[in-house]
Amino acid sequence: MREPTFLVLTALAAQAQHGYGVLRDVAAISDGQVTLRAGTLYAALDRLCAEGWVEVDREEVVESRLRRYYRLTETGAARLTAEVRRRQRHTSAAEQRLQLRGEGGLA
Amino acid sequence: MNERDAGHTPIERRYLRLLALYPRAHRAAHGEEMLGVLLDGAEGRSRPGMAETVDLLWGAVQVRWQHALGGHRGRDRRDTLAMVSLLAPVLLLVGAYWAVRGIRGLIRAEAGAPRLWLGVLADVPVWSAWLAALVVGVFGMRRASVALAWLATAALIVVTAIDPDRHWSVEMAAGWVLLSVFAAVAVTVSPGPRRGLELLGLSRLIILIGTAVILGLLTTTGLGRYLPLVELVELVVLVLGVLAACRPGTRSGRRAAPIILTPLIAVSVADRLFLDFDAYLIFAAPVHAVLLYGAPVVITVGFAALLHRFDRHPSPEPRPGWAAR
């Protein structure tokens, strides 16, 4: 799973959000390290909706601008959970190796 | 400023021009919403930033690609190309008959000149690579299959370009080269031969292998020499074999068959027409080559454009008036 996809799914994990909300949330989740833009976001949302991981929650018109809220589906939540576990395994392995390195290596 | 730009601020107009690059269906579903998000982030600017422009351009490319190969219509297209990725390489292996025949001839003649062997063996890497691409593709090794398919195609182009006298004149090579390119594209953009086999089943694959064997026997053995109208017989065997193998009862199958047949049939027809016209007008050899390579490509692209037009309808339901902007 590519980083923008992971961050978009993470942004939608707790609650439904509109496009601009997702962009701001991704910046917050990544501590400002990742700046997602509209082109990347909507290419990702288009794909995630087609795959059934994300769906439209509701629409609102705010200051004459359309806001469409997206939410994570059960399939999307399951896929994100699997990705989180995969990343956790890799992170744990990396931590263990670094600890061994600090203790004088594997040999 | 045209009518559709009226009533928009300069930055809105610039965003709208960039959003016009997205597919109509995507604009209908997300255009207004995307414009809102872009304006929310514009923060008093009068034009999109460079990074934002590049991001929107790249997004348009990604969405167009996803729409070409995504959704339920995209699944049909992927399945169509998966069938092509399985069946086209089988037909391409008919070309190996010439190499086998040449090797057998040299062995019988006990000819040991390295130059003769080199000439006969020059196209062996092509067929070997296609056979390997097919086998590894069926076993699910997609990346290896893609690499071998393009290696085989490149080798075929090199062999026909550097040694056209011994390895097929343009009227013989064009159909095979184009089929090889189509097959390599299909292997690359589809889930590959494994998916093709899942869709078609072993029996359909065996039908096409049988067709390839019959075509090989007709073109490279004495069997063809004694048949009246052998070219017509070959054409009938080819068309019936491919149609039977492609599961014509399915939409993907009906689309896969013309993709496989067009290069081989269109080249023959174009060549025949060329010969008829050439009796009156002397065409140069490059014109001949352009016609033989161009005709099947034009027909296939036209067929794809027709299908795309036939398939296209916006989804989800557009908000009134937005898609036309």
Q: Which tens digit of pLDDT belongs to each residue from B104-115?
A: 777 777 666 777
Find the helix or strand (DSSP H, E) in which A55 lies.
Answer: strand A54-62
Distance from CA of A53 to the nearest CA of B (A): 13
How many C-beta neighbours within 10 Å does residue B124 have?
A: 16
Cis peptide before B316 (omega within 30 of 0): yes
Higher pLDDT, B156 or B323: B156
Dihedral sign for Cα atoms in the order B53, B59, B62, B67: negative
Lowest mean pLDDT among A54-58, A67-71, B306-310: B306-310
**A37 close to B51: Cβ distance less than 8 angstroms:** yes
Pick the residue of B21, B22, B33, B73 with the most A CBs within 10 A to test the interface with A by mutation. B33
In tens, the pLDDT along B240-293 reads 999 999 988 887 888 888 889 888 888 777 777 766 665 555 566 666 677 777
d(CA B92, CA B183): 9
User: What pLDDT shows up at residue B1?
Assistant: 44
d(CA A94, CA A99): 9
Pick B41's closest partner by Cβ from A18, A23, A68: A23
User: What pLDDT shows up at residue B253?
Assistant: 86
Of all residues in chain A, the percent with pLDDT exceeding 90 is 53
Q: Which residue has the tokens 């995969």?
A: A86
In tens, the pLDDT along B191-245 reads 889 989 988 989 999 999 999 998 888 877 766 666 666 778 888 888 999 999 9
- Please work out, in degrees rounded to the nearest 5, the angle formed at the alpha carbon of residue B205 by the alpha carbons of B199 and B208: 130
Q: Residue B191 in 3-state DSSP?
A: coil
| Subunit contact B36:A42, Cβ cutoff 8 A | no
Per this entry, what is the length of chain A?
107
Residue B321 has pLDDT above 50, yes or no: no
ipTM: 0.82
Residue B130 has pLDDT above 90, yes or no: yes
Q: Which of residues 28-67 of A touch B (CB under 8 A)?
A: 37-43, 45-47, 50, 65-67
Please state, rounded to an integer, the average pLDDT across all residues of chain B. Answer: 79
Pick A39's closest partner by Cβ from B58, B66, B319: B58
Residue B60 has pLDDT above 80, yes or no: yes
